[in-house]
Amino acid sequence: MPLSQGALLQAARSGDEHAFRRLVEPHRRELHAHCYRMLGSVQDAEDALQDALLRAWRALPGFQERSSLRSWLYKIATNTSLDAIARRPQRVLPIDYGPPSDPHDGVGAPLVESVWIEPYPDETFDIGDRMLGPEARYEQRESVELAFIAALQHLPAAQRAVLILREVLGFSAKEVAEQLDTTVQSVNSSLQRARKAADEKLPDQSQQATLRALGDEQMSELVETYMRAWEAGDADTIVAMLTEDATLAMPPMPTWFQGRAGVAGFLTELAFAGQERRRQLVSFAGEERRMRLVPTRANGQPAFGAYYWNDEAGAYIPRALQVLTFREGRIADITGFADPAMMAPFGLPERLEAAPAR
């Protein structure tokens, strides 16, 4: 017979680590997503969550159940994240780091320090809406969209925590005040300022609303067209899919490109340069491709693992994780996280073997 939460809590307080793991496991995914919203990094979120659970284990004998276990865990995870924020640089996207670049200047060197927002795997986040409180303003998937995560990182840490706890998770002002050891008045004041600052950074329509408006069939067609064009090195088709003010960024490189002309210049002069000369390198049933894309989902948005053919390896090796942002049926942003290590959290392969020629 399964033990009740009360029995598990009593056992955990007595030093039963297995009971503690059973207590916190139902909350692990949502706590991980919470740390990600606070920190903008999957790895930082994982580190913060492990630290928070260690703190919770050590503090469990003093947990007096004046709040729910979930609220208590959120208090610890929030304060652990606030401590992490105080120790490291703000995370941003390249468009918040500097002005757009000229394709003729190349892409520049990657930054050594970790200042970039990282993509979040949809499967990691798949917790549904069952944990939302009555005062939540944002859908759960809206709350991990790239634009939302980027907007959060511009907020002062305390305001960021208040906005997430109140409007993403739906905790009451009283609960948030208890979690942050402050007053209801302070929470309400911080929320007002945070709302104003975040709304100035966010687009008029969330990606979830945009994708719903497009519908599954049109979305599938757009994704398929984009994949075929990228694999074929067809810059014209990709550019035709863009909004006039579209952006393309490639963290950890700080360079980014804006507008159809800027993105077209990057594709033709850099990404697809020499594509015609290279077509003889690999053959797939009569279709020769230098690049391949593998579809996935990140931050509630369409995404792809991008692989490039490597002669020495005799296979396609990972180059970047691309995340697409849409607006009114067109691609508004292409964010290519140019770090092969990004593939693993999405369950993408380390390499793609060449298909046999027919």
Does residue 255 sit in helix, strand or coil? coil
DSSP 191-227: HHHHHHHHHHHS-SS-HHHHHHHHHHHHHHHHHHHHH
Does residue 298 sit in helix, strand or coil? strand
Residue % of the chain over a pLDDT of 70: 91
Which pTM was predicted?
Answer: 0.91
Confidence band, pLDDT 50/70/90 cuts, at residue 112: low
Higher pLDDT, 133 or 268: 268
pLDDT 10s digits, 43-102:
999 999 999 999 999 999 989 888 899 999 999 999 999 999 999 988 999 999 888 888
Q: Among 147, 182, 146, 148, which Cα is nearest to 162's?
A: 182
Q: Which two tokens stand for residue 2?
A: 């399964």
Confidence band, pLDDT 50/70/90 cuts, at residue 275: low
Residue % of the chain over a pLDDT of 90: 74
User: CATH classification of 212-353, choosing from 3.40.1190.20, 3.10.450.50, 1.10.10.10, 3.40.50.2300?
Assistant: 3.10.450.50
Question: Domain ranges in the chain?
Answer: 1-88, 212-353
Confidence band, pLDDT 50/70/90 cuts, at residue 161: very high
β-strand pairing of 352-353 with 330-337:
unpaired
DSSP 222-254: HHHHHHHHHHHT-HHHHHHTEEEEEEEE-TTS-
User: CATH classification of 1-88, choosing from 3.40.1280.10, 3.40.50.450, 3.50.50.60, 1.10.1740.10?
Assistant: 1.10.1740.10
